[in-house]
């Protein structure tokens, strides 16, 4: 997929509308992880260093009530953004109107302006998330060119991506979106083989489309996390009190049949009797799970088998942790997968957002993989081979 990138634009003297993903986790008004802001900086710096006027905007959380506006203002995000970019960021606490328009018209080349949470427009009807035509047209009128660098929302057609792109002369991808297209798009469309996919997380139902797509494309699919128990139950094994989608057993059977041996399931698991890090735990074969026991991680024999398969790979995509990694007793499987990816040479290793990305960052492996996606839902849909509206709306080269 050959899309225009920000370097293909002449930004000098232009008002550059920049959709970023600053939907950062916050607690009591304090940002707990600023990784998404940092990831957007190269594109923003390119625009201002080349004489563009950067008009930056993002969503934050969901806005359903007036109270949500108080807890989801981008004001503290703008402050952190200013610290990280090392340049004044003029924050306008509006999503439209004269104050915003005047501030944009007063910008000088190299200036940065940021306006308020795009989803404030959802309070009276879903204008942003429903891609209201009038809103997309209005936001497009504020700039000369549009750069989409928000992969986290690329699987949604919103006024702040598709709406603007439909009403502006020129649209390009930022460096972050370009990277997502290159790595995830490349893995889906043209992987160097062997291609190994690793899937975890709690539910098979969340990843049906991805599994079906990967059965066609991957050489092996390693399954861990809570979803493994639905597959094991489908094979007639007792999974005790483990997470299991009883209504998805037939689906799991069908997927195993379609996969013709490509799906590799765990042979052992770490079990306990309570969802707690303080309860005694043990490793058992998947054939020996007793009533009342719940599996919260893959076991060491499974990790050994998974690591052997990964060691042969040239392309690896990983989405979903192997266990409840937030508890130290059940983090070994997830840490082991991080390690296996870090030890690969001459291979492309991609972590597809969400909890597996959080785990890799938490355990210090972020710099040891080729790419960590910034989009959970978007990376899953991209892995399915779906067309993402936020990518499709970017001009082709």
Please write the tens of the pLDDT for every residue from 128-185.
999 999 999 999 999 999 999 999 899 999 999 999 999 999 999 999 999 999 998 8
Strand 195-199 and strand 315-319: pairing?
parallel
Topology (CATH level 3) of domain 191-383: Rossmann fold (3.40.50)
What is 18-51 written as a DSSP string? Answer: EE------EETTEES--HHHHHHHHHHHHHHHTT
Is the pLDDT at 188 greater than 90? The verdict is no
Task: Give dist(CA 56, CA 259) in Å, integer.
Answer: 45
Give me the helix-helix angle, 208-217 and 376-383, nearest 10°.
40
CATH number of 6-178: 3.40.50.1260
Average pLDDT over residues 69-78: 94
State the pLDDT at residue 125: 86
How many Cα atoms are found within 13 Å in the side-chain-facing hemisphere of 118? 30
| pLDDT band per the 50, 70, 90 thresholds, residue 84 | very high
Give residue-wise pLDDT tens across range 323-365.
Answer: 999 999 999 999 999 999 999 999 999 998 678 888 998 999 9
Give residue-wise pLDDT tens across range 259-303.
Answer: 999 999 999 999 999 999 999 999 999 999 999 999 999 999 999
Q: Where, residue-wise, is CATH 3.40.50.1260 in the chain? A: 6-178, 191-383
SS3 letters across 89-112: EEEECCCCCHHHHHHHHCCCCCCE
SS3 126: coil
Element (H or E) spanning 197, and its range?
strand 195-199
Q: Which residues are catalytic?
A: 36, 203, 354, 377
């Amino acid at each position: 997929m050959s899309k225009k990138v920000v370097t293909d634009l002449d930004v000098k003297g232009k008002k550059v509308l920049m959709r970023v993903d600053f939907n950062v986790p916050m607690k009591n008004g304090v940002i707990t992880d600023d990784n998404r802001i940092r990831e957007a900086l190269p594109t923003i710096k390119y625009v201002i260093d080349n004489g563009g006027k950067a008009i930056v905007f993002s969503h934050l959380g969901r806005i359903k009530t007036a109270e949500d506006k108080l807890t989801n203002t981008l004001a503290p995000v703008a402050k952190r953004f200013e610290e990280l970019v090392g340049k004044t960021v003029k924050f306008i606490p509006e999503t439209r109107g004269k104050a915003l328009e005047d501030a944009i018209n007063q910008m000088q080349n190299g200036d940065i302006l940021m306006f308020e949470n795009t989803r404030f427009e959802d309070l009276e009807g879903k204008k942003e998330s429903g891609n209201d035509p009038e809103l997309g047209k209005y936001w497009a009128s504020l700039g000369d060119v549009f750069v989409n660098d928000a992969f986290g929302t690329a699987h949604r057609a919103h006024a702040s991506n598709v709406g603007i792109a439909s009403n502006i002369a020129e649209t390009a991808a930022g460096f972050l979106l370009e990277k997502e297209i290159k790595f995830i798009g490349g893995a889906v469309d043209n992987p160097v083989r062997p291609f190994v996919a690793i899937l975890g997380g709690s539910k098979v139902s969340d990843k049906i489309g991805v599994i079906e797509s990967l059965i066609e494309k991957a050489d092996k699919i390693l399954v861990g996390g809570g979803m493994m128990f639905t597959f094991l139950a489908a094979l007639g094994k007792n999974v005790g009190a483990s997470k299991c989608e009883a209504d998805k057993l037939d689906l799991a059977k069908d997927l195993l049949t379609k996969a013709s041996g490509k799906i590799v399931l765990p042979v052992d698991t770490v079990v306990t009797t309570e969802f707690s890090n303080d309860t005694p735990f043990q490793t058992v074969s998947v054939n020996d799970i007793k009533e009342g026991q719940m599996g919260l991680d893959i076991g060491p024999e499974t990790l050994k088998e998974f690591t052997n398969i990964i060691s042969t790979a040239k392309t690896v995509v990983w989405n979903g942790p192997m266990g409840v990694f937030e508890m130290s007793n059940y983090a070994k499987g997830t840490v082991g997968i991080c390690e296996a990816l870090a030890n690969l040479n001459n291979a492309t290793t991609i972590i597809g957002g969400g909890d597996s990305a959080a785990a890799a960052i938490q355990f210090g492996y972020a710099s040891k993989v080729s790419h960590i996606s910034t989009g959970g839902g978007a990376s899953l849909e991209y892995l399915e081979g779906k067309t993402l509206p936020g990518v499709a709306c970017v001009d082709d080269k």
